[in-house]
């Protein structure tokens, strides 16, 4: 972690208007403008593996645009996520839109050197296929990780149209490859129709405990957080958030919407519940801006990203005089 005086934060919205300046996430510095990054915000504009609505290739730019109103202090967690860690926007991966296999390799090749510097990744997708190469890169750095997966869908199916690499298959491939910790991984927010009841048995065998969206209303945010923390334990955690975990009322701009999802408030509250755990990297995927209205989905995704950065931030310390550092 850097010393505070070394850290470059976001552009001050009281000095430069929100609608002006760099189009980086939260108007943070570009990687070219700092000496290093503790957390690298990486865009992956790839959506060639979707099964229904396309358009998530435009997600990274949309989330960045929707993040312009973020501010440097998070009162919900009493932390300033840009003060104790250097967060920088490293731009986008140039993915081949005509070859899924080549794009997967390009994403892994882009993520690996960033992780090798000791940085953590906050990746903006893109469709959910990108989680597989990101997990391959994370595994090379951290070994098998607990995957905390927020989604309406299991994404542990085997193939679509005979293709093993799609946005509905990344966590089956990751489990088969030994990338995930099968004792501590978890789905949250699963809902809607499935292909068969065996889908749930398959996902459990692959190492995922499932907390269905119907349970969230009964448990409340505090109950979900307790269940989540019990499952994750002290394992290193990779968080993967498909924005369709939110109800379409809160996130209409996504590729495969399902009714009956989480509210924005619930999702933000559960993500805050990760504070103090060892989150090694994260992604937010499946924002398809062509279906957005008044940036509803982009704003939700940007705030989820902000909470992820907040739980990655080092804890605030107080000296004997009560001064916070």
Q: Is 244 annotated as a binding residue?
A: yes
pLDDT tens digits for range 260-277: 999 999 999 999 999 999
Lowest mean per-residue pLDDT among 10-19, 105-114, 120-129, 263-272: 10-19
Burial of 278 (0-12, 13-18, 19+ CB in 10 A): middle
Q: Is 153 annotated as a binding residue?
A: yes
Q: Is 9 a member of any domain?
A: yes
Q: Is 292 a member of any domain?
A: yes
**pLDDT at 22 (0 to 100):** 85
Q: Is 154 a member of any domain?
A: yes
Q: For residue 96, is pLDDT > 50?
A: yes
pLDDT tens digits for range 32-44: 999 999 999 999 9
Q: Is 123 a member of any domain?
A: yes
Q: Is 322 a member of any domain?
A: no
Instruction: Enumerate residues 6+ apart whose C-beta is below 8 A from 276.
Output: 311, 315
Q: Is 318 a member of any domain?
A: no
Q: What string of DSSP letters covers 12-45?
A: PTTTS-TTSS--SGGGPPBGGGSS--SEEEEEE-
Q: Confidence class of residue 180 from pLDDT cuts 50, 70 and 90?
A: very high
Closest CA to 83 of 39, 116, 130: 39
Domain that holds residue 207: 4-312
Q: Is 181 annotated as a binding residue?
A: no
Q: Confidence class of residue 1 from pLDDT cuts 50, 70 and 90?
A: very low
Question: How many domains, in total, are found in the chain?
Answer: 1
Q: Is 301 a member of any domain?
A: yes
Over range 288-314, report the average pLDDT.
Answer: 98
Which CATH number does the domain housing residue 289 bear?
A: 3.40.800.10
Instruction: Output 5 or 251, whichever has higher pLDDT.
Output: 251
- Give yes or no for a contact between 129 and 104, defined as CB atoms under 8 angstroms apart: yes
Q: 3-class DSSP state for residue 124?
A: strand
**pLDDT at 126 (0 to 100):** 96
Q: Is 320 a member of any domain?
A: no
Over range 128-154, report the average pLDDT.
Answer: 98
Q: Where are the alpha helices (DSSP H) in 26-169?
A: 59-66, 100-116, 131-142
Over range 86-98, report the average pLDDT.
Answer: 98
**Angle, CA of 224, 56 and 279, to the nearest 5°:** 40
pLDDT tens digits for range 194-233: 999 999 999 999 999 999 999 999 999 999 999 999 999 9
Q: Is 212 annotated as a binding residue?
A: no
Q: Confidence class of residue 323 from pLDDT cuts 50, 70 and 90?
A: low
For the chain, give the mean pLDDT. Answer: 95
Q: Is 47 annotated as a binding residue?
A: no
Q: Is 283 annotated as a binding residue?
A: no
């Amino acid at each position: 972690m850097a010393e505070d005086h070394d850290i470059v934060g976001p552009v001050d919205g009281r000095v430069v208007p929100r609608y002006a300046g760099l189009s980086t996430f939260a108007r943070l510095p570009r990687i070219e403008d700092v000496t290093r990054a503790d957390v690298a915000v990486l865009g992956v504009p790839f959506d060639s593996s979707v099964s229904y609505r396309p358009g998530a290739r435009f997600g990274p730019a949309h989330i960045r645009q929707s993040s312009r109103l973020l501010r440097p202090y998070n009162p919900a967690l009493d932390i300033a996520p840009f003060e104790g860690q250097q967060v920088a926007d490293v731009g986008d991966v140039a993915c081949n839109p005509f070859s899924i296999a080549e794009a997967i390799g390009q994403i892994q090749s882009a993520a690996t050197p960033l992780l090798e510097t000791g940085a953590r990744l906050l990746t903006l997708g893109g469709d959910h296929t990108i989680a597989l190469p990101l997990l391959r890169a994370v595994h090379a750095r951290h070994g098998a990780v607990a995957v905390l997966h927020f989604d309406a869908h299991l994404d542990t199916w085997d193939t679509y149209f005979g293709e093993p690499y799609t946005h509905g298959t990344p966590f089956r491939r990751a489990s088969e490859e030994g990338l995930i910790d099968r004792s501590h991984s978890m789905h949250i927010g699963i809902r809607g129709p499935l292909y068969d009841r065996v889908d749930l048995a398959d996902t459990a065998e692959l190492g995922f405990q499932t907390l269905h969206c119907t349970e969230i209303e009964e448990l409340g945010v505090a109950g979900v957080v307790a269940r989540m923390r019990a499952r994750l334990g002290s394992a290193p955690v990779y968080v993967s958030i498909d924005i369709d975990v939110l109800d379409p009322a809160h996130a209409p701009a996504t590729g495969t919407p399902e009714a009956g999802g989480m509210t924005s408030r619930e999702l933000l509250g559960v993500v805050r519940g990760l504070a103090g755990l060892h989150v090694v990297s994260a992604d937010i995927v499946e924002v398809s801006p062509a279906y957005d209205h008044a940036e509803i989905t982009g704003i939700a995704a940007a705030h989820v990203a902000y909470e992820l950065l907040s739980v990655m931030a080092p804890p605030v310390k107080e000296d004997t005089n009560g001064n916070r550092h």
